[in-house]
Amino acid sequence: VTEKIQIAKDPASAVQTALTLGNYSGIAVLVDTHTRAHCYPLIKNDLPVHNVIEVPAGEEYKTLETCTKIWKELTAHGFDRDAVLIVLGGGVLGDMGGFCASTYKRGIAFILMPTTLLAQVDASIGGKLGVDFEHYKNHIGLFNEPVATLMVTSFLKTLPAREIKSGFAEIIKHCLSSDLKMWNAIRQKKVEEQDWEALIPHSIAFKSRIVSEDPKESGVRKILNLGHTIGHAIESHFLKAGQPLTHGEAIVIGLIAEAHISFQKKTLGKINLDQITGYLISEYGKCELPQSNELLPLMQQDKKNRGKEIRMALIDGVGRAVWDVKISENEIVNAISYYQSL
Ligand SMILES: NC(=O)c1ccc[n+]([C@@H]2O[C@H](COP(=O)([O-])OP(=O)(O)OC[C@H]3O[C@@H](n4cnc5c(N)ncnc54)[C@H](O)[C@@H]3O)[C@@H](O)[C@H]2O)c1
Ligand SMILES: [Zn+2]
């Protein structure tokens, strides 16, 4: 874990750290409806004079329209180049708030205080910022680093069970691609029984190591996209249909389908495929998928592709992942029908 990423013992000490990081001309705190209600009260009194910018909660609002609202409020409150934006929220706010801060007046400082499990173990690490565009996930954005990422695990106390499960999906992905032992430990327990005190730092360490080796995703960082080529297409599909899944719910389906592609490519054995699928279905249930021909065009827009070719990360034996593997449409069709047949 780098200096910039810290696990704070409570909200007050996170705020204290945040305030020592710069001599800011102003402080804006970005919240959504839920983090305003549940998290903001825990830091409010420790912050000096500041403005709160509130946006509606949910992936549906991870758009340029919401950015416009944020930029307008920053402008209306007169924030200058030396101001800081503290982003108090999950992955949606982190991606969008970081993007708004990085582009406002060509860039002001921002500090992430992730409040969801998903944001703590994944989204707030690695500098990917942006918003969705015309239902394509994270289509507009950039890479930029926050001044710091301050994790407060006690924020997770108010997080709904469905959101805990969403973040757990990324932890599963991290274990499948890097740590056979940890995968064997987590698959013995239900979501509710997991040891978060161990899993959160484990995921943070893994992701920050990969990101520091390859910050701009030209090589090894692509393994973090395991489950995401198909998962993002599924997430986009349900978002468009007006029945959004959580990010993790979509990624779980992507992990099953991509494990099946690894199986087709003979880099994952049948026993391991069954283990992965069995665990994920028992913890997350099954969901009705559209036909592959509705998902394929969404995958063709994926940022990991080279031109029209679909490339993805695959499992190369549990605990290892490879990247940039060329995938045929047929393999994807097979993987989707495998999921549907479960
Ligand atoms: N940048 C990256 O590298 C990266 C990686 C993974 C995911 N992501 C992005 O992250 C997003 C998903 O993030 P998310 O799952 O955190 O979603 P989210 O930010 O929408 O949060 C989920 C829900 O929980 C609520 N919430 C947040 N904190 C809470 C708390 N402490 N108590 C009660 N409610 C709380 C939110 O208001 C929201 O309703 C997606 O847009 C995805 O693309 C980005
Ligand atoms: Zn993800």
Q: Going by CA atoms, what residue is nearest to atom 25 of ligand 1?
A: 34
Reference 69, options 55, 58, 57; nearest CA is 55
pTM reported for the whole predicted model: 0.95
Q: Going by CA atoms, what residue is nearest to atom 7 of ligand 1?
A: 123
The whole-number pLDDT of residue 203 equals 97
Query: What tokens appear for 111 in the block?
Result: 């500090």
Q: Residue 180 above 60 pLDDT?
A: yes
Phi-psi sector, 217: left (phi>0), alpha (psi -120 to 50), beta: left
Rg (CA), the chain: 20
Q: Going by CA atoms, what residue is nearest to atom 6 of ligand 1?
A: 123
153 Cβ closer than 6 Å to some ligand 1 atom: no
Reference 32, options 64, 60, 13; nearest CA is 60
The whole-number pLDDT of residue 308 equals 76
Mutate to test the pocket of ligand 1, among 5, 118, 132, 214 (most ligand atoms within 8 A of CB): 118
* Chain position carrying tokens 């992942």: 321
Compute the C-alpha angle 93/31/232, nearest 5°: 20
The whole-number pLDDT of residue 215 equals 93
Q: Residue 1 above 80 pLDDT?
A: no
Give the ligand at the shortest distance from the Cα of 146.
Answer: 1
- Nearest ligand 1 atom to the CA of 95 is 1
Band (301; pLDDT cuts 50, 70, 90): confident
Instruction: Give 209 Cα–ligand 1 centroid separation in angstroms.
Output: 22
57 Cβ closer than 6 Å to some ligand 1 atom: yes
Q: Going by CA atoms, what residue is nearest to atom 8 of ligand 1?
A: 123
Q: Residue 304 above 90 pLDDT?
A: no
- Nearest ligand 1 atom to the CA of 167 is 15
- Nearest ligand 1 atom to the CA of 125 is 3
63 Cβ closer than 6 Å to some ligand 1 atom: no
103, containing H or E segment: helix 91-103
Give the contacts of 61 (CB within 8 A, at least 6 positions apart): 32, 55, 92
Instruction: Give 18 Cα–ligand 1 centroid separation in angstroms.
Output: 21
pLDDT tens readout for residues 23-34: 999 999 999 999
Mean pLDDT of the 47-76 span: 97
Give the ligand at the shortest distance from the Cα of 116.
Answer: 1
pLDDT tens readout for residues 63-102: 999 999 999 999 999 999 999 999 999 999 999 999 999 9
> Which is it for strands 27-32 and 84-89: parallel, antiparallel or unpaired?
parallel
pLDDT tens readout for residues 190-228: 999 999 999 999 999 999 999 999 999 999 999 999 999
Beta bridge partners of 99: none
Calculate helix-pair angle for 228-240, 292-300, nearest 10 degrees.
110
34 Cβ closer than 6 Å to some ligand 1 atom: yes
Reference 203, options 316, 329, 114; nearest CA is 114
Band (305; pLDDT cuts 50, 70, 90): low
Average pLDDT of the chain, as a whole number: 95
44 Cβ closer than 6 Å to some ligand 1 atom: no
Q: What percent of the chain lies above the pLDDT cut of 70?
A: 98
Q: Residue 239 above 90 pLDDT?
A: no
